[in-house]
Amino acid sequence: MSDSVGQYLNEIGMVPLLNAQEERELSQIIEAGADARAREEAGETGREVKRAIRAADRAKDRFIRANLRLVVSVARRYPLPPGMELLDLIQEGNLGLEHAVDKFDWRKGFKFSTYATFWIRQAIGRALDQKASLVRLPGDRSASLRAALRAVSGNGDELDEEHARLHRLTTPTSLDRTIGDDDSNELVDLLPDSADGPELQVMAMAENEMATRLLDVWTIVPAMPSSNASASPTGGNAATARLAKTWV
């Protein structure tokens, strides 16, 4: 581990973690700040609006800083491609964390860490995709097109539009190339995403986490006599059922 990573870990390790109640309270403040900001953009002014916006900014900053260790934990699971360092992945993951803080809906009952992990992975995954950001045709197809171009342009004449299109097909294209009249979109944004949406993936992650915890409970709690099995609504012993509730 490099000195810079070690220093960063020491710094973020000093930030207190949040409990579930604090996460809900901060989320409510951030939500109120978003409403206040919308009112300000609509022309409303006043101390209450400005106070809510400032409070939301402070809440968001605290929320993010308290979860920076989560980003490091996720980033460490990825193999580093040539030319990238762990801090690069952490920086991208931090952007995903910020997005998660903005979009987190405390009413839906998700654990923030589970929800944020989805967006952190999305941000890191996109950065890794853009690192290998060349879209290439299969080798045989590209070779055939180049051969056709050599045949039609061997005399040195300027290519017509159709041949120019063939030439562009054989030229590697960057996924982060801007497109459109205003250059506001990137080519990568047009690629179809076959993955489930964030809520479905977060629900699946939460279910897996719950199943793992329940399995741990059944492993560490000794079996009770069979006469007590009826005490548990799940068919296990009462002690296991009580302990399971504390984990869920």
Q: What are phi and psi of 186, to 5 degrees?
A: -115, 155
* Distance between CA atoms of residues 64 and 206, nearest Å: 21
Where do the domains of the chain lie?
A: 3-132, 135-190, 198-247
**pLDDT confidence bin for 54, thresholds 50/70/90:** very high
Residue 234 reports pLDDT greater than 90? no
Which of 128-137, 168-177, 221-230 has the lowest average pLDDT? 221-230
For residue 144 the two structure tokens come to: 């055939």
Residue 192 reports pLDDT greater than 80? no
Residue of 7, 178, 211, 201 whose CA lies nearest to 121: 201
- State how far Cα 219 lies from the chain centre: 32
**pLDDT confidence bin for 243, thresholds 50/70/90:** very low
* Distance between CA atoms of residues 198 and 120, nearest Å: 11
The residue to which tokens 């897996």 are assigned? 208
Contact 236, 209 (CB under 8 A): no
Q: What is the pTM of this model?
A: 0.58
In this predicted model, which residue has the larger pLDDT, 104 or 137?
Answer: 104
Q: Which secondary-structure segment (H or E) carries 178?
A: strand 178-179
Distances 236 to 5, 17, 216, 219, 225 between C-alpha atoms, Å: 46, 34, 14, 12, 10
Residue 229 reports pLDDT greater than 80? no
Total residues found in the chain within this entry: 248
Q: What are phi and psi of 17, to 5 degrees?
A: -80, 165
Express each pLDDT in 120-151 by its tens digit.
999 999 888 877 654 545 556 656 666 665 66
In this predicted model, which residue has the larger pLDDT, 104 or 213?
Answer: 104
What average pLDDT is seen over the chain? 75
| Domain 3-132 -> CATH class | mainly alpha
